[in-house]
Amino acid sequence: MDFITSCIAANREIYQLLNSRGDLQDQCKMGFGGDISLKADLAAEAIFIKHLSKFGQIYSEESGFVGDGEDIVIIDPIDGSKNFASNIPYFGSSAALKRNGKIIGAVIANFAAGYIHIKDESRFERRFFLQDRAENIISKPLKGIGIFEKAYKSRALSDKLLQASFKYRTMGALALSLALSHEVDFVLFQGNVREFDIAAGWYMSEDLYQLRAPNLLLVSKDKGIFDKIHNFIMELSI
């Protein structure tokens, strides 16, 4: 799929950029999504636009809608910008192609770990992308652990998980965490659900149990875990 190939090329260029300049952690202006953009965000966005604008109108966290076209390319140029700015090794990017209201291809890159998640209508795989290695990475389930992004948003839900002995981590990059949803017990997010944050990751986890609301996401491969956390959410009227 040409879209996937172009995403990989864009991510390779962004990776090289992130490792070649020392000023990319500097803050710039308020972005379209409401967060302060870093120089890294804007530079990565420009690279994505260069590689992906031929596929349709760009919808980006930094600049909103750019260009035109019948299809829409939804991007988060740097997923986990605060982690990048703080030198925490959990940040990347996400891109998804939407056609007729449906995602048909997506790529999520982890710049810190050097691998990329790819999904289209014929495959779902994770492989190295930053160097010449192209072999697939064998998935290793992360047993007994979930991911709760922005757990600080809901002390009540955090307490429910604690009482039920659910263990979790808060990683700080939602797309990357959704890309791991097949490997962890659950992925939970509390906060404003924005399309450019979740389009690629939601598509990658569409075969799992999913709950989506304006201020909450829940994904799990385990129906028992999904139902239990869902019940907590219902009890708390979140």
Domain range for 155 is: 146-236
pLDDT digits over 192-207, tens only?
Answer: 999 999 999 999 999 9
Number of domains in the chain: 2
Query: Does a structural domain hold residue 135?
Result: no
Same domain, 114 and 152: no
Give me the pLDDT at residue 134, please. Answer: 54
Model confidence band, residue 130 (pLDDT cutoffs 50, 70, 90):
low
Same domain, 30 and 114: yes
Give me the pLDDT at residue 135, please. Answer: 57
Cβ pair 67, 53 in contact under 8 A: yes
Cβ pair 54, 73 in contact under 8 A: no
Mean pLDDT of 146-169: 95
Same domain, 13 and 121: yes
Q: How far apart are CA 71 and CA 76, in angstroms?
A: 17
Provide the token pair at 49.
């636009």
Tally of CB atoms within 10 A around 215: 12
Between 140 and 185, the higher pLDDT residue: 185
Provide the token pair at 14.
């962004």
Query: Does a structural domain hold residue 231?
Result: yes
Same domain, 77 and 172: no
Q: How far apart are CA 47 and CA 58, in angstroms?
A: 12
Same domain, 77 and 50: yes
Q: Is the pLDDT of residue 137 over 70?
A: no
Query: Which string of DSSP letters, residue by residue, matches 94-124?
Result: EEEEEETTEEEEEEEEETTTTEEEEEESS-E
Same domain, 47 and 99: yes
Which CATH number characterizes residue 169's domain?
Answer: 3.40.190.80
β-pair partners for 190: 216
Which CATH number characterizes residue 21's domain?
Answer: 3.30.540.10
Query: What's the whole-model pTM score?
Result: 0.91
Between 196 and 132, the higher pLDDT residue: 196
Tally of CB atoms within 10 A around 132: 5
Same domain, 64 and 108: yes
Same domain, 101 and 179: no
pLDDT digits over 82-119, tens only?
Answer: 999 999 999 999 999 999 999 999 999 999 988 899 99
Q: Considering only CA atoms, which of 177, 169, 186 is closest in space to residue 220?
A: 186
Q: Is the pLDDT of residue 38 over 90?
A: no
Same domain, 23 and 122: yes
Query: Considering the chain, what is the average pLDDT of its residues?
Result: 91
Give me the pLDDT at residue 70, please. Answer: 94
Query: Does a structural domain hold residue 136?
Result: no
Antiparallel, parallel or unpaired: β 72-79 and 57-60: parallel
Strand locations in 12-66 (E): 27-30, 36-38, 57-60, 64-66
pLDDT digits over 172-192, tens only?
Answer: 999 999 999 999 999 999 999
